[in-house]
Copies of this chain bind each other. A is one copy, B any other.
Amino acid sequence: MKPLQHPRAADINIYAVLHALAEPARMQIVRTLVEAGGKPCGSFGIDLSKSTLSAHFKVLREAGIIRQETGPGNSRVNTLRHEDLDTRFPGLLTAVLLAVERTETALPSL
């Protein structure tokens, strides 16, 4: 596999990040990576076609949210660029993750 290109930490754009995260499937990928980094693309349990998933990973990678390295076999190892994001946008990822936790963990009687 060819190694993929990633934006430098200093080039991470806030609008690209917000746009990338404003999509449930991509958010799900990020949330999964928070709990367990170093996962191949196919192991996220998201019911979408391969091509669609690949596109989502591309959006996340080009936004600088994840890193995709060539892994064993023909797989990609996906990791969160948690430190890079925190350096560039302190507290952003944490706040977003906390927010989505609240949204997804639907409370019964509001």
Contact with B along A74-110 (1 / 0, CB 8 A): 0000000000000011111011101110110000001
Report the minimum CB–CB distance from A101 to chain B (whole Å). 9
Any B CB within 8 A of the CB of A22 = yes
The oligomer's copy count stands at 2
Query: Residue A21 at the B interface, CB < 8 A?
Result: yes
Residues in B neighbouring A100, C-beta threshold 8 A: 14
Is B102 within 8 A of A95, CB to CB?
no
Are B96 and A90 closer than 8 Å at their CB atoms?
no
A18 touches B10 (CB 8 A): no
Residues of B within 8 A of A18 (CB): 18-19, 21-22, 96
User: How distant is A28 from chain B, measured CB to nearest CB, in Å?
Assistant: 11
